[in-house]
Structure 1
Amino acid sequence: MTAADHPAPLRVQIGAGEQRWEGWIPTGREELDLLDRATWAAWFGDCRADALLCEHVWEHLSEEQGRAAARVCFEFLNPGGFLRVAVPDAHFPDAEYQRTVQVGGPGPRDHPAADHQVVYDAARLAGVFTQAGFTVDLLEYCDAQGRFHYHGWDVDTGPIYRSLLLDHRNREGRLGFVSIVLDAKKPGQIPG
């Protein structure tokens, strides 16, 4: 299937793995490889996405690769569209969390973090997207002092499981797992 096989609005989940969200088209590296523009050109054709969703993928790219991937996403978004991204947070003040998300992962090669290339802080991640032409709105992040910031966002516009509102580890006033969550918006208006 390609973008042309899906109704508007075109909302695409990048690197979905087993995760599925209603109203979002899940894709894997086979369909949309962030490091291979040709896969995007083949899948999208003349279509463009209204929204892209990418949870805990960018940390598996080097920062240089992340910048290149941001440019590809920018190209295949409609003007006015957005890319919602979540990654582990370098400033979340929990030693076990940091051990788990560290570059190279905490253990065996099959650990999900084994190929982490970078652990971002909010400013560094935002820079990856602003250099590609996006305007960035930080939705969730920890500052350099480890204080958590949440800027009320609507999960219905693009759910992120590893977030304040959805992650099962964040209950009863306790933060057990957070991410940097941002919206990278492409300037302009969505056609319509």
Structure 2
Amino acid sequence: MKVIIGAGRTSYNGWLSTQEDALNLLSLESWDRLFEPESVDALLAEHVWEHLTYEEGIIAAKHCYHFLKPGGYIRCAVPDKNFRNEWYQQMVQVGGPGPADHPAATHKIVYDAKTFVQVFETAGFEVSLLEYCDEHGDFHYSYWNEEDGKIGRSLRFDTRNSIEGLGMVSIIIDAKKPLIIKSKS
């Protein structure tokens, strides 16, 4: 089972698209209505975690961990605090750039890569950074397969990016639930 969290209009073949009204990341009861513990193979969340506080992000990550199979993963993307682009930073700022109906109006945090990784490591995941800007604003990229969860706001898939420069980036991680080997004691 593969699940897109906060899918909006996103749908991919083989993935179950969910919205907050069906799957509230912070509600264990909401998870329990849809899934058994350790029953999900993969989760995908693009620009969802910034709508949670840091503490809520850890709770959500712990819920993901609980429902993922050992060896399962979540691919997750959020706006990048270290991307050196004034327009972008105004668009993703906490509280958003304008009216209450703007998608960023409910942003509660803008992550840097270190802090975002920390959220998922705190929940028990092994985390790999796929795309991010470091504290100097330099962009880093490791190849990732879109078949494992496509992130639209990424180096390869956002049309605002070109050979001339970056227009839209995200911090993108893969957070994997370790395989657990039970002792024979």
- State the match for 1:34 in structure 2: 25
- State the match for 2:152 in structure 1: 161
TM-score, with structure 1 as normaliser: 0.91
- State the match for 1:6 in structure 2: none
- State the match for 2:135 in structure 1: 144
* Matching of residue 179 in structure 1 with residue 181 in structure 2: no
- State the match for 1:12 in structure 2: 3
Question: For 2:135, what is the secondary structure of its paired residue?
Answer: coil
Contact 2:3 2:17 in 1 (8 A): yes
Aligned residue type for 1:49: V
Contact 2:99 2:105 in 1 (8 A): yes
* Matching of residue 59 in structure 1 with residue 13 in structure 2: no
Aligned residue type for 2:141: Y
Out of 82, 92, 102, the position equivalent to 1:91 is 82
Show structure 1 runs of 4+ deviating over 4 A.
none
Same amino acid, percent of matched pairs:
53
Note the C-alpha offset of 1:47. Answer: 6.2
- State the match for 2:116 in structure 1: 125
Note the C-alpha offset of 1:56. Answer: 0.2
TM-score, with structure 2 as normaliser: 0.95
Higher mean C-alpha displacement, 124-133 vs 13-22: 13-22
Distance 2:121 2:147 in 1: 24
Note the C-alpha offset of 1:46. Answer: 5.6
Alignment RMSD = 1.1
Instruction: Indicate how the Cα distance of structure 1 residues 46 and 151 shifts in structure 2: closer, same or farther if over 3 A, else same.
Output: closer
Distance 2:5 2:100 in 1: 23
Out of 95, 99, 106, the position equivalent to 2:97 is 106
Contact 2:38 2:70 in 1 (8 A): no
Note the C-alpha offset of 1:172. Answer: 2.8
Aligned residue type for 2:21: E
The runs of 5 or more residues in structure 1 that have no matched partner are 1-9
Deviation sequence 1:145-185 (CA, Å, 0-9, x none): 00000011111111000001111111234211000000010
Instruction: Indicate how the Cα distance of structure 1 residues 46 and 152 shifts in structure 2: closer, same or farther if over 3 A, else same.
Output: closer
Aligned residue type for 2:52: L
Question: For 2:22, what is the secondary structure of its paired residue?
Answer: coil
Aligned residue type for 1:87: V
Distance 2:76 2:37 in 1: 24
Distance 1:109 1:63 in 2: 21
The runs of 5 or more residues in structure 2 that have no matched partner are 181-185
Question: For 1:113, what is the secondary structure of its paired residue?
Answer: helix
Contact 2:41 2:69 in 1 (8 A): yes
- State the match for 1:7 in structure 2: none
